[in-house]
Amino acid sequence: MEYIIAIPSHKRSTIINDKVIKLLEKHNIDKKKIFIFVEESEIETYKKELPEYQVVKGAKGIARQREAISKYFSENQPIVSIDDDVEEIYEHNEPIINLDYFIKDTFDFLNMNKLTMAGVYPVANWFFCKPTITTDLRFCAGAFKLYINDHKLEQRKYELLEDYENTLLHYRHSKGVMRYNYIYLKCNYNSGKGGLKEYRNDERKKKEVNTFFQEYISFCKIKKSGLDISLLKNHH
């Protein structure tokens, strides 16, 4: 089955062209494969700015949006989810040469190893990267992930920790997640108008971190700040 690319977006109809769309065009990704998911009230604005692309009704908030993406496509559909502010994908500290080949190669690896999700290194710093591909429990950030669609695994109870939850659901289902530890993204979550991180505040985050920890206590620990989770590679 051919892969598709899903882009969740929010209030970025003008800058998306300079970010992820520019990146996909540089790699000559077929526009027919690309679907942009936005809230209903934003559909017309996006269609005006991006007339060549398929703009689809999504949902409000990143967790609901990612669920809407999964529901829109059939079970077992290979999906590449990439956020609207991703400008570049770096492999061994150089811009990735052939994105289409990389995507196909990743889905081949997932199928061969009976895994359902792949992600990249979650920190944009080459210094911390390692030249490895791992399949144990490691966090796969939602900004760029490749997965075999499974409507159950793509349901979310959490909003601010939705990508941690999603990593764990895939890990428990497949007994592993694939992560490229030498690939990272250039994107900026916290600046610029719009985006799906608008809804954050510390109190809410702390509460969600504690609830999440209680549910997944054998898979994670709370970081010192109380505002984040660390997944345990050697969980019990």
Q: Where are the domains of the chain?
A: 4-191
What fold, for 4-191? Spore Coat Polysaccharide Biosynthesis Protein SpsA; Chain A (3.90.550)
User: Looking at residue 142, what is its pLDDT?
Assistant: 92
Banded model confidence at residue 198, pLDDT cuts 50, 70, 90: very low
* 86-92-94-95 Cα dihedral, nearest 10 degrees: -40
User: Looking at residue 28, what is its pLDDT?
Assistant: 97
Percent over 70 (pLDDT), the chain = 93
How far is the C-alpha of 5 from the C-alpha of 23, rounded, in Å? 12
Predicted confidence (pLDDT) per residue in 5-60, tens digit: 999 999 999 999 999 999 999 999 999 999 999 999 999 999 999 999 999 999 99
How far is the C-alpha of 58 from the C-alpha of 185, rounded, in Å? 24
Predicted confidence (pLDDT) per residue in 52-95, tens digit: 999 999 999 999 999 999 999 999 999 999 999 999 999 998 99
Banded model confidence at residue 130, pLDDT cuts 50, 70, 90: confident
User: Looking at residue 127, what is its pLDDT?
Assistant: 72
Rg (CA), the chain: 17
Question: What is the mean pLDDT of the segment spanning 105-110?
Answer: 98
Predicted confidence (pLDDT) per residue in 136-166, tens digit: 999 999 999 999 999 999 999 999 999 999 9
Close Cβ partners of 194 (under 8 Å, ≥ 6 residues apart)? 10, 11, 12
Provide the whole-model pTM.
0.92
User: Which residue would you say has higher pLDDT here, 233 or 167?
Assistant: 167
